[in-house]
């Protein structure tokens, strides 16, 4: 039965208060991950974008660009498992995740993708060094190129698969945010590492990736509604501002002066990389802030009960 609104001088019998939890404890657990995780999200995403560039460059006949992209991706493929194993605490825990393959589990899929990605890139580099036929190098490189986009995006699916209100609420758009960021970071890496006259494709990647990243992030905030508050407050809010300022400044510098000035290309690339890293950090920090306040989970459940299709942070 609907309660009637008090009229005239009548007083409300039960005042509406802030959502609370037992003894003031969080309703959902805060993430157990450590500082290595957001850096893993960044290095893995960048490496995945670079691997896709390497195979595209091979198809278009740009051998130098493809080789440079592959080697940068390999560096990311080496750093990423080190960060992941450091977070897990013991190396055997990573190996234990490879004992079973579950395609329905983002964590299982990601572990196998990371293992196959790094192995394929390492084998392709060795095959290139010893002078094996191009078909062998291309096949190994192509395997990594196929796994690269999965590596860049599975982490967004993994975050959205949790009960954390802000990650769960943004689960349909976060993969696009990470995809754009990975594309921009991959292009920025090539702008920093390669000569200016070979950087046309890299500069286009930075601009296009930044547009996708910024537009998707704004759309995600809009769809989250009140749940997006952590992206505006505290550590996450500061990181969002850093991300936007660095990414937009880097893309602008690269698109205007990057083709003429080597210094501008390096500075623009560095700013874009900083913006991409700040994006992963702000998403990570926002999850902690969202889990700490019961209001976000309660509000998301109220929204789901009122209108499951409104997209404002439903957790169902």
Q: What is the pTM of this model?
A: 0.83
Domain that holds residue 291: 164-305
Domain termination site, one of 118, 137, 161: 161
Do 184 and 299 have their domain in common?
yes
Q: Count of domains in the chain?
A: 2
For the stretch 10-65, pLDDT in tens is 555 544 555 555 555 556 677 778 899 999 999 999 999 999 999 888 888 888 89
For CA atoms 221, 223, 226, 228, the dihedral sign is negative
Domain membership flag for residue 118: yes
Domain membership flag for residue 28: no
Give the tokens for residue 51: 């691997």
Spatial neighbors of 225 by CB under 8 A, at least 6 apart, are: 303, 312, 313
Q: By C-alpha distance, which of 282, 299, 187, 174 is closest to 238?
A: 282
Domain termination site, one of 161, 180, 205: 161
Domain membership flag for residue 229: yes
Domain termination site, one of 161, 194, 214: 161
The answer to whether the CB of 214 falls within 8 A of the CB of 244 is: yes
Domain membership flag for residue 301: yes
Taking 70 as the pLDDT cut, the residues of the chain under it are 1-28, 294, 296-316
């Amino acid at each position: 039965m609907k309660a009637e609104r008090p009229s005239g001088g009548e007083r409300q019998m039960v005042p509406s208060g802030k959502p609370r939890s037992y003894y003031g404890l969080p309703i959902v657990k805060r993430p157990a991950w450590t500082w290595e995780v957001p850096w893993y999200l960044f290095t893995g995403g960048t490496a995945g974008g670079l691997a896709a560039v390497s195979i595209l460059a091979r198809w278009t006949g740009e051998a130098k660009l493809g080789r440079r992209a592959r080697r940068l991706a390999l560096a990311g493929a080496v750093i990423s498992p080190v960060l992941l194993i450091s977070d897990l605490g013991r190396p055997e825990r990573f190996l234990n995740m490879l004992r079973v393959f579950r395609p329905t589990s983002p964590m299982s899929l990601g572990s196998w993708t990371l293992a196959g990605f790094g192995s394929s890139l390492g084998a392709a580099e060795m095959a290139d060094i010893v002078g094996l036929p191009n078909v062998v190098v291309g096949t190994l490189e192509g395997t990594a190129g196929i796994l690269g986009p999965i590596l860049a995006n599975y982490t967004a699916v993994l975050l959205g698969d949790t009960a954390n209100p802000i990650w769960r609420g943004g689960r349909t758009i976060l993969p696009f945010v990470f995809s754009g960021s990975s594309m921009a970071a991959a292009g920025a890496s090539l702008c920093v590492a390669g000569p200016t006259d070979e950087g046309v494709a890299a500069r286009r990647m930075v601009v296009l990736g930044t547009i996708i990243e910024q537009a998707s992030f704004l759309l995600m905030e809009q769809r989250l509604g009140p749940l997006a508050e952590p992206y505006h407050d505290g550590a996450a809010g500061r990181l969002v501002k850093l991300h936007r300022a660095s990414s937009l400044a880097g893309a602008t510098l690269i698109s205007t002066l990057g083709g003429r000035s080597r210094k501008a290309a390096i500075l623009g690339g560095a700013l874009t990389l900083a913006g991409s890293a700040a994006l992963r950090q702000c998403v990570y920090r926002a999850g902690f802030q969202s889990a700490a306040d019961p209001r976000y989970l309660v509000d998301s459940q109220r929204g789901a009960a009122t209108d499951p299709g409104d997209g404002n942070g439903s957790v169902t």
